[in-house]
Structure 1
Amino acid sequence: MNLLCQEPVAPVTSPADLLGIALALEREAVLRYRELAGMMDGRGAVETAATFRALMEEERRHVEAVASVSAERIGHVPDSAPFVWRLPPEIAASWEELAGRSDLTPYRALSLAVLNEERAFAFYSYIVSAATDQAVREQARALAMEELDHAAKLRRQRRKAWRASRRESGDAAVRVEDLAGLASLASALAGETVGILRAAASALDRAGKTDDAGALAGIADDLTPLITGPGPAPASVDPVLGEGRNLRSALAALERMAEIFSDIAEGTRDEAVWLEAQRIFGIVVGHAVRLAERSR
């Protein structure tokens, strides 16, 4: 799964460049987490809003820390504005898309935040691998680990948001006892999900969106081997739905399937079940992330 479409557009050759980039990335995160907290407040998602405010404050402390390091190492605090163009374009684009969505839920907001923290980690990792300056490598590695820590915190909150949404809908927690039970559940869920994917692909193909239709058909083909019983469950999509909503209906099915297998892996004490649930989760969540990119 490629988190970034391209490597950093210019090499980072000095601590001053890295610190300017870090300030630009951290200040952007402060702004976006403040916006997300306000959006979640407006939807009554108080706990999720509090999570984003806590992250906003943590990012603000990072801004202060980077500024302090800058003053110590290079004698001044860089103006971050000239470095904005060097940030991963996927991050800004996905934040903008999220802000414009009317169907935003805590789960979706947290999912996007997780993805962007992982993108920031990948960005710093690229810098580490390409840097020839030892100081740049060490500082970029430290910054990468901070982003990874943020992603872990957000994933925990995303799990809570998923469970809360399931309680609201009356869904019970899924539990399996052995590999046979897991295979049976995987077959049923894959059948349902593949049916939705193929129906959405057909609708998109009729609308002339052949690239998106092909992408959904490819995901459906990849999940089909999980189906051990009857074929995919028949499904239909509203023919008047636009391209974006067709993609999001397919994405919702993948997200549901991914979270169920994540739940199973978290709750089981059977190592074989844990390994297989993790394997299936990895397949499904990889497709979900790529489809999320298409549905922007």
Structure 2
Amino acid sequence: MPEKRTEPWVMASMSELLSFARAMEQEAVDGYVALAARMRTERRPDLAAVFERLIAEEEGHLGKVDQWLGGRAPEPVDLSEPLFDDEGAGIVAPELLTSYRAFSMAVRNEERAFVFWTYAAAHAPSEEIRQAAERLAREELGHVATLRRERRRAFHEMRRAEPDSVRGDLPSLERRLLELLRHHPSAPGARAERLRGLANEALERATALSEAPPGETPLLGHVPENVPGRLVPLCEFLLDCYLDLAERGSDEAGRARMQTFASEMIRCLYAAREL
């Protein structure tokens, strides 16, 4: 199989872009098939059922890419650094796995795919490829929203009530995110510069949300007490809020605004996890 000589997000042609999209979806299907098989072997039919739902979801994504290919055979591609990561679910004791953890892993895989396609769009050599990569990024954002809903449901099944919670508002939470980003003990250089950029985005969102508040989301009525003090959980919570508001939006401009904030928050979350 020939190696890709450019960075993985630089797509030279539509054929290469669609071939990468298909390879990524197939990689996810294969990963969940292996996990479902292991859960059946370990006599955990509850978790096998969760992974089978994820298989069905990914096969649906794969079918969309095949439709886009229009019957053409995909090119061979080299996923030398696979995007799908089972995060140890394939080897950890099944007693330590939960549906919440399974959906959390699926969410993070979809977020990685979203980041991949946003980079592909940013580095696209033509308008056609840029638009296609942006379309794939939007698809992944939709997948993120679906799986995060499933994860929330799994969480509430585990814990029907969170005793230590407070009511929150988005501008205050964004300002808290700004503080955490500005005061994070990061290494100097590119990483510190990246955090400054993310902090500026948080400030811009806080200002915009104060000047033009969005609709209501029930998530803000139940902010776990430990979320505002920790970078990754705060990013996770804000992302859930923006995705929920995007789904509830009654007008296109409002939905697009929340989707933009969700996209920024995924990038912030991705950076926070690397710290």
TM-score bracket, shorter-length normalisation: 0.5 to 0.7
CA drift of 1:16 comes to 0.9
Change (3 A) 1:35 1:178: closer
Change (3 A) 1:35 1:150: farther
Matched, 1:266 2:261: no
The alignment's TM-score, normalised by the length of structure 2, stands at: 0.55
Task: State the Cα deviation string for residues 48-95 of structure 1 (Å, max 9, x = none).
Answer: 6445433322322332332232236xxx21144x3322xxx3634x32
The match for 2:78 is 83
CA drift of 1:101 comes to 1.3
Matched, 1:153 2:179: no
Change (3 A) 1:131 1:284: closer
The match for 2:213 is none
Cα contact 1:12–1:127 (8 A) shared by 2: yes
Cα contact 1:27–1:63 (8 A) shared by 2: yes
Change (3 A) 1:279 1:95: closer
Cα contact 2:32–2:51 (8 A) shared by 1: yes
The separation in 2 between residues aligned to 1:50 and 1:146, in whole angstroms, is 24
**Aligned with 1:165 (options 141, 158, 176):** 158
**Aligned with 1:126 (options 119, 131, 134):** 119
CA drift of 1:118 comes to 0.2
Matched, 1:101 2:92: yes
The match for 1:283 is 231
Task: State the Cα deviation string for residues 98-129 of structure 1 (Å, max 9, x = none).
Answer: 31111222222211111110000000000001
Q: How many residues align?
A: 190
SS at 2:125's partner residue? Answer: coil
Q: Give the % identical residues.
A: 33
What amino acid is the match of 1:91?
L
SS at 2:78's partner residue? Answer: helix
Task: State the Cα deviation string for residues 151-175 of structure 1 (Å, max 9, x = none).
Answer: 11111121122222225xxx65555
The separation in 2 between residues aligned to 1:14 and 1:57, in whole angstroms, is 29
The structure with more helix, counted as a fraction of residues? 1
Cα contact 1:19–1:78 (8 A) shared by 2: yes
CA drift of 1:20 comes to 0.9
The alignment's TM-score, normalised by the length of structure 1, stands at: 0.52
The match for 1:258 is none
**Unpaired segments of 5 or more residues in structure 2?**
1-5, 170-216, 237-268
Cα contact 1:265–1:277 (8 A) shared by 2: no
The match for 1:30 is 29
C-alpha RMSD of matched pairs (Å): 4.1
The separation in 1 between residues aligned to 2:99 and 2:152, in whole angstroms, is 10
The separation in 2 between residues aligned to 1:28 and 1:131, in whole angstroms, is 23
CA drift of 1:39 comes to 4.7
CA drift of 1:37 comes to 3.6
